Amino acid sequence: MDYKERYNLWKNANLEEHLRKQLDSYSDNDIKESFINDIEFGTGGLRGIRGPGSAKMNIYNVKKVTLGYANYLQKNFSNIKQISVVASYDNRHFSYEFALRACKVLEAKGIKTYIFSTLTPTPILSYAVSHLKCQGGIMLTASHNPKEYNGYKVYNEDGAQLNLTQSNSCIEEIEKITDIFNIEESSVKIEEVKPSLIEDYLKQVRKNKINNPTKKLKIVYSPLHGTGSTVIPQFLKSEGYNVFPLESQMTVDPDFSNTLSSNPEDPKSFIEAIKYAKTIDASLILLSDPDADRLGFAYKNKEGEYVLVTGNQTASIMVYYKLSELAKKNKKIRNGVVFTTNVTSDLVKVIAQSFDCKVVTTLTGFKNIADGIAKMKKNEKFVFGCEESYGSILNDFVRDKDSVQACYNLSEIACYLEDSNLDFESYLDQIYSVYGYYYEYTHNYVKPGLDGKEKIAAIMSYVRKNGISLENTKIIGFDDCTLDLHIDYVNNKESKLGLEWSNVLKYYFDNGLFVVLRPSGTEPKLKVYFSFPGKTLNQASDYVNECFKSINKIVERF
């Protein structure tokens, strides 16, 4: 079908009233954008702007994907008498309705379903899948995307998002569905998840405690109107931490009325929390995103200013604290494995290796880290897993990013540092002085609209063909993840990366710099990552900024 045929199919369907009104108001350009294709799975599952249309997030696409997922489960778990799935949801418009009606589609197919009685963080959904011995899970969330979005994450029996092989099998079943307007729903009442499951989850989080510092310092926490409000401040208070929730952002609000951004990677998301922290002289600010898988944090420095910490710095602090403090207690982890991604700072890798840990590098997307965990050898011990995009886990009872674990760990670290007359600034400087002053920068080129994908594809094609040239350094290696290929220019060798297919290019330079180009799997963006170990942080920052200017000249051609 072309977009006009798709549009006519929807126009003649018996749509739900709110979607009918929106469809009737569409301009010609709206019609083209909303029906140009079918909404696609990316690194984070299904995600898009809400509204009528084959390319939008709406109840018909949710039901279509759910029916395909049901058929996938029944095909792959035919030996199980009663297949089951657990579902949760965030604070966004229609998240609860989408989750509930997805459960009804599954029940109509004979699949037992559970749903949380209130909005619940993604990591708890991940835990629930394995805890309830389900074969799958569904999380209705658009994560950190703006309020116009919603999304649909699909989980496997380990509590991890479907890996590429599983996703492809599921997509095959989804693509077989042609009539999306007459998908059956069960009238059965969906069983709610028992509240005790959350306490069982928190018992596992408590196991991440390494030290028991004095807990005097003040901590400001905000869920950015999302799911973290149901768990994180209460949990930290129960553990003795001096937590001050930012009440204006504790409300469940799909319009994110009291924050300029729902993304803790965006400095604008911290504005209100910093204002509040100043009034109470707080030392630490913690912000979880709407589904509480990502965590951003800021600390008060010696000058009384609040410093935002990057995802790479956060991961480096957390892995160093865990490994160094366990070593002090003669609890060194034997056969330990640390998981990172090919766009995450090499600082995580060098820290882990200094404590004799094996480092596994995966593609971006926590599902790839989870897949790596599932493939660990029996004698190997999970230590840490992280992405640069503000996501980590300290314990693998959860197989997705977990801001609850991160909040608990960073609260402990902050109090431990205060007891030691240190702060995060001096702690980071200690790490840098040993391992190198790593500086990272990620630039997002937003390319919306009908020609956005074409522009991103053209940029990737040009760079893949012509490479990157930077002054005063030369390329010593190159990865093309579409070909599963690594080229070692120093030794003139080619080898397999051992990674699944992904449209990612990575360039290694002889001064330690790496540059990665990667189209986002969930947003209309081209992401370009830079990482460089300098002699000082300022020197590293200045150098990366110069490198960015060179890359920017390439992108500006398009």
Q: In this structure, what token pair is assigned to residue 137?
A: 């899970």
Catalytic residue among 143, 283, 403, 531: 143
Do residues 62 and 70 lie in contact, with contact meaning Cβ atoms separated by under 8 Å? no
Listed in order, strand segments (DSSP E) in 324-421 are: 336-341, 358-362, 381-387, 391-393
Q: In this structure, what token pair is assigned to residue 479?
A: 């990865």
Q: CA–CA separation, 377 vs 454, rounded Å? A: 42
Q: In this structure, what token pair is assigned to residue 459?
A: 């940029």
Q: CA–CA separation, 360 vs 342, rounded Å? A: 10
354 is catalytic: no
Q: CA–CA separation, 543 vs 438, rounded Å? A: 11
- Per-residue CA distances from 403 to 90, 255, 410 (Å): 14, 22, 10
DSSP 37: S
Q: In this structure, what token pair is assigned to residue 381?
A: 């011990």
Q: In this structure, what token pair is assigned to residue 285?
A: 């600010």
Chain position carrying tokens 């030691």: 420
B/e letters for 108-129, b = 16+ CB within 10 Å, e = fewer, are bbebbbbbbeebbbbbbbbbbb
The long-range contacts involving 367-371, CB below 8 angstroms and separated by at least 24 positions, are 367/43, 367/160, 367/161, 367/162, 367/163, 367/400, 368/163, 368/341, 368/499, 368/500, 369/339, 369/341, 370/158, 370/159, 370/160, 370/161, 370/163, 370/399, 370/400, 371/160, 371/163
Q: CA–CA separation, 241 vs 300, rounded Å? A: 17
Residues annotated as catalytic (active site), given as ranges: 143
